[in-house]
Amino acid sequence: MDIWFKYKKGEPAVISFKGKTVNALKKQIKTELKNQLGKFDITQITLRASGKHEILCAEMLIDEGFATSYNEPVVVETENYQETKSFCIQCYDNEGAPLNKFEQFTMRDKDFRGFLKRLEARGLENIDDDNEVPKIITSLEGIQTNKYYRISASYLTAVKNVVAWTKVEDTALEDETTLAVKNFISKKFKSPAKDFPNRVMHDEVGKPIMEWDGIFLCRSKVFLCESKHKITKEKLEMLVERLKDFPEKLKVTKDVEFKQLSNMEYIGVACATLFPIELRQKSVNELGLIIAYPGGGRYCIDLPSNMDEFHNWCNYL
When the candidates are 3.90.950.10, 1.20.1250.20, 3.90.1640.10, 3.10.20.90, the CATH number that belongs to 2-78 is 3.10.20.90
User: pLDDT per residue over 248-294, tens digit each?
Assistant: 999 999 999 999 999 999 999 998 888 899 999 999 999 999 998 87
214/212 Cα distance (integer angstroms): 5
Most confident of 128-137, 202-211, 236-245: 236-245
**pTM for the whole structure:** 0.46
For position 131, what pLDDT does the model report?
A: 85
306 against 267, higher pLDDT: 267
Fold match between domain 2-78 and domain 84-162: yes
> Is the pLDDT at 86 greater than 70, yes or no?
yes
> What per-residue confidence (pLDDT) applies to 196?
92
What is the distance between the alpha carbons of residues 315 and 198, in angstroms, rounded to a whole number? 26
* Comparison of pLDDT for 122 and 157, the residue scoring more: 122
The matching CATH number, chosen from 3.40.50, 3.30.450, 3.10.20, 2.60.40, for 84-162 is 3.10.20
Q: Where are the alpha helices (DSSP H) in the chain?
A: 22-32, 34-37, 109-119, 159-162, 171-188, 233-252, 256-259, 277-285
pLDDT per residue over 204-235, tens digit each?
Answer: 888 899 999 889 999 889 999 998 878 899 99
pLDDT at 81: 53
pLDDT tens for 28-70 read: 998 888 888 877 778 878 898 887 767 888 889 998 888 899 9
Residue predicted with more confidence, 61 or 96: 61
Pair 74, 50: CB distance under 8 Å: yes
Would you tell me how many other CB atoms lie within 10 Å of the CB of residue 65? Answer: 6
Q: Is the pLDDT of residue 173 over 70?
A: no
What are the residue boundaries of the structural domains of the chain, listed by start? 2-78, 84-162, 171-315
Amino acid identity of residue 173, one-letter, is L
Average pLDDT of the segment spanning 174-185? 79
CA-closest candidate to residue 210, choices 232, 237, 243, 257: 243
Model confidence at 167, pLDDT cuts 50, 70, 90, reads very low
Q: What was the pLDDT predicted at 3?
A: 93
